[in-house]
Amino acid sequence: MPQFYSALHRANVLKLLCRNYNRLSVDTINPHVVKVEYAVRGPIVQRAAELEGDLKKGKHYNFDQIIRCNIGDCHASGQQPIKFIRQVLSVATDTSLLKNHSIPSDARLRAQRFLDSCGGSVGVYSHSNGVQVVRDDIARYIEERDNIPSNPNDIFLSTGASEAVKILLQLLATGADGKGRAGILAPIPQYPLYSATNAEYNSVQMGYYLDEDNEWSLSIDALQDVLKRYEGKCVPRALIVINPGNPTGQVLSKDVIRKVIEFAHHHNLVIMADEVYQHNIYVPGREFVSFKKVLHEMGGSISKEVQLASFMSCSKGFMGECGLRGGYCELVNFDPAVQAQLYKYISARLCSSLLGQLAMDVVVNPPKKGEESYESFMSEKKAVLDALKFKAEMVSKSLNELPGFRCNPIQGAMYAFPQMKLPQGAIDAAKKSGVAPDFFYCLKFLENSGVCLVPGSGFAQVPGTWHFRITILPSVEKMKIVMRKLADFHKDFLKQYS
């Protein structure tokens, strides 16, 4: 009998151990998921949410609201939606509005054209690559922008540009470990989407430093350095370029783009061109030039051999339709067999949101001169971009007036990324708290002033330098308040820790 109970006990223990092993815990989930970090929605943002909750409950602080300068979410920052985009979406969603003549005819016609191409409802599945007329319109937009041909069959729609980026990075991953892992060259400072995705897919992020002393430009020497640094440690496969830059706000010249293409060609790297801020250019003398246009102009074998994936979104620019999750990717010089495999892969996701596809369509096919909505659309677009230009100049000027701050001109995109010299007392206090000095600074600023920023350590930076990212999306009046709060806080911070 004792032997029976002993055996029963052992069986129960084994069963319990197996059950605990099968139950998900941080130790048993995919280890690559644990490595994923996304500073834009990190601990400081979580603390901002706590403070916001306290304010709603009537708790008193030195501030009466949280001003979110941490994320490029235009409408959440107070920007009004572009009316024409919302009219087209409204008609497509509620088809009874197709006969409502209070809605402009060009909005109703665009909605009808989209519905005719997707089966009559935004609630259906589309072709996995996206609705045909949307891809046709995107190709036409690219042709008009670059004055070179574009094939709709080389374009696929995605749930925001982020999904398209992740799809390409998954395609580039080797599935190997150790030295066989894919190496992805990405800029530092970098948008955390890339580091998070590379961690998820077990690829090696090969960070190359942008040149802060040269307005965050990209140097070929930095690219050469990173290849040497990672030699024998991974298999370099792609080069990511964000233009205009996030978080750094630079706009690359045609000459720099040409050199990057030559580098990619020489080292057999796929170029991933993140061009979602192409409408956001603020500095006279700078213009957005696509990688595709420069590649085409280079001619010869290089224009036929360099593989390029470029990304666009309806979340940025003047539109700011982040929540609709519309984006696309155009592939250049990709092997048809590879594109077939890519199509198979995205087919498992069925399709991207049709409302996101429609929003993307309106962005690339806006009202034309002579159409009913043209004047109002252009007026709204100009107002948004003019306000962003004003705030870009105001914010960089204000930051440069603070002791120990240095901020490059915000040439494009929606952010400033200033460097700040912090007193040793603050660095020591941060170390004692177990956090990076710029994290310490941003947390203190949030708790003192109610303004949410993202520390530069969340984007990576040259060791020994400290930054933060601040968006320029809140209204002009709010940004003036933010700059005043920052000036007051910084003066007190220096006094306390110097």
Task: Among 168-177, 179-188, 300-309, 384-393, name the one with the lowest average pLDDT.
Answer: 168-177
| Dist CA 49 CA 47 (whole Å) | 5
At 418, list the tokens: 């200033």
3-state secondary structure of 155: strand
Please state, in angstroms and as integers, the Cα–Cα distance from residue 303 to each residue in 32, 262, 293, 363, 402, following that order.
Answer: 36, 10, 10, 28, 46
| Dist CA 474 CA 391 (whole Å) | 9
Helices (H), 268-423: 291-298, 302-305, 336-347, 354-364, 374-400
pLDDT of 2 over the 80 cut? no
DSSP 287-321: ----HHHHHHHH-TTHHHH--EEEEEESSSTTT--
Q: What are phi and psi of 241, to 5 degrees?
A: -130, 130
Please write the tens of the pLDDT for every residue from 59-88.
999 999 999 999 888 888 889 999 999 999
- Report the phi/psi class of residue 470: left, alpha or beta, with left for phi > 0 and alpha for psi in -120 to 50: beta
End-to-end CA distance of the chain: 76
| Dist CA 358 CA 123 (whole Å) | 12
The one-letter amino acid code at 190 reads Q
Please state, in angstroms and as integers, the Cα–Cα distance from residue 324 to each residue in 79, 236, 253, following that order.
Answer: 15, 34, 31
Confidence (pLDDT) at 11: 58
At 240, list the tokens: 């990511």
The pTM of this model reads 0.89
pLDDT band at 5 (very low <50, low <70, confident <90, very high): very low
pLDDT band at 39 (very low <50, low <70, confident <90, very high): low
Q: What is the mean pLDDT of the chain?
A: 92
Please write the tens of the pLDDT for every residue from 408-443.
999 999 999 999 999 999 999 999 999 999 999 999
CB 489, CB 445: distance < 8 Å = yes
CB 489, CB 449: distance < 8 Å = yes
Percent of the chain exceeding pLDDT 90 equals 82
| Dist CA 344 CA 330 (whole Å) | 17
pLDDT band at 1 (very low <50, low <70, confident <90, very high): very low
- Parallel, antiparallel or unpaired: strands 405-406 and 419-420: antiparallel
pLDDT of 6 over the 90 cut? no
pLDDT of 137 over the 90 cut? yes
